[in-house]
């Protein structure tokens, strides 16, 4: 990655009283410049992505269609009258836009706060360009404060939890949550994420784990952070 840090827009809002939603919206709207007519666009999940979906609905760009990373996103896209496509029918896609729970200076991410991490990683991996949109509070020197979401087949829940403890983590079952794939989420604190690539692999090697929220193998290509001074773009 070439680290270009620049403000991409004249600040719309000034001062310290901007709330996180205004910053998320700013980042989401900045991602529109990457969307061209005729594209298939992958769409993530979460409150920041919801601002992106609203912006897509308003912008009416003549794209070929959208690939949703969750049932929630599919429903929101349809509610905007936007055409949802099956990833099995699109082949690889030019662009994917999604939020994150944490992002490090190498564009590696923790995702899955909304529980959609597995489909998100699939769509991100099928995309040539992954644009991550977030408020600037997600910009971290290193990953690991946010509890790491791990999607687990229910049958393996206790076994996987014990293996996560052996890796140094403290897993907690996310109560009342079933993923779009019919699985449960363990949120894991205390892991050493100084080598995110290795930890992503070690967790995914546990039988019963579907995927985990470390996006190090498929990190973002572009970061758009909404800040009180405007949108910070890194790529």
Active site residues per annotation: 120
Yes or no: say if 65 and 89 are a contact pair by the CB < 8 Å rule.
no
CA distance 212 to 198: 12
114 binds ligand 5RP (CB under 6 A): yes
111 binds ligand 5RP (CB under 6 A): yes
Strand boundaries in 29-147, DSSP class E: 40-43, 65-68, 84-85, 93-98, 102-103, 109-110, 127-135
With respect to ligand 5RP, which residue has the nearer C-beta, 48 or 212? 48
46 binds ligand 5RP (CB under 6 A): yes
CA distances from 67 to 58, 76, 175 (A): 18, 12, 28
Q: Which of 77, 100, 210, 214 touches ligand 5RP (CB under 6 A)?
A: 100
Q: Which of 26, 35, 97, 115 touches ligand 5RP (CB under 6 A)?
A: 115
DSSP secondary structure letter of residue 139: B
196 binds ligand 5RP (CB under 6 A): no
Q: Which of 23, 77, 82, 117 touches ligand 5RP (CB under 6 A)?
A: 117
200 binds ligand 5RP (CB under 6 A): no
With respect to ligand 5RP, which residue has the nearer C-beta, 46 or 144? 46
Yes or no: say if 204 and 149 are a contact pair by the CB < 8 Å rule.
no
Q: Which residues bind ligand 5RP (CB under 6 A)?
A: 44-49, 98-101, 111-117, 120
């Amino acid at each position: 990655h070439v680290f270009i840090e620049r403000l991409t827009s004249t600040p719309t809002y000034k001062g310290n009283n901007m709330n996180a939603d205004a910053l998320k919206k700013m980042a989401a709207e900045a991602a529109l410049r990457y969307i061209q007519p005729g594209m298939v666009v992958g769409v993530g999940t979460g409150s920041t992505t919801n601002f992106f979906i609203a912006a897509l609905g308003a912008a009416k760009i003549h794209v070929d269609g959208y690939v949703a990373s969750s049932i929630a996103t599919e429903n929101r896209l349809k509610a905007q009258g936007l055409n949802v496509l099956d990833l099995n029918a699109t082949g690889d896609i030019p662009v994917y836009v999604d939020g994150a729970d944490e992002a490090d200076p190498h564009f590696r991410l923790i995702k899955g706060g909304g529980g959609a991490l597995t489909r998100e990683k699939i769509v991100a991996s099928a995309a040539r360009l992954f644009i991550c949109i977030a408020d600037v509070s997600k910009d971290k020197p290193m990953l690991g404060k946010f509890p790491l979401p791990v999607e687990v087949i229910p049958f393996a829940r206790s076994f996987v939890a014990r293996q996560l403890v052996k890796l140094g983590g403290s897993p907690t079952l996310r109560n009342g949550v079933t993923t779009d794939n019919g699985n449960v989420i363990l949120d894991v604190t205390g892991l050493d994420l100084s080598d995110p690539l290795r930890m992503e692999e070690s967790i995914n090697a546990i039988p019963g784990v579907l995927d985990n929220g470390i996006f190090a193998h498929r990190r973002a290509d572009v970061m758009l952070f909404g800040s009180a001074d405007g949108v910070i773009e890194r790529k």
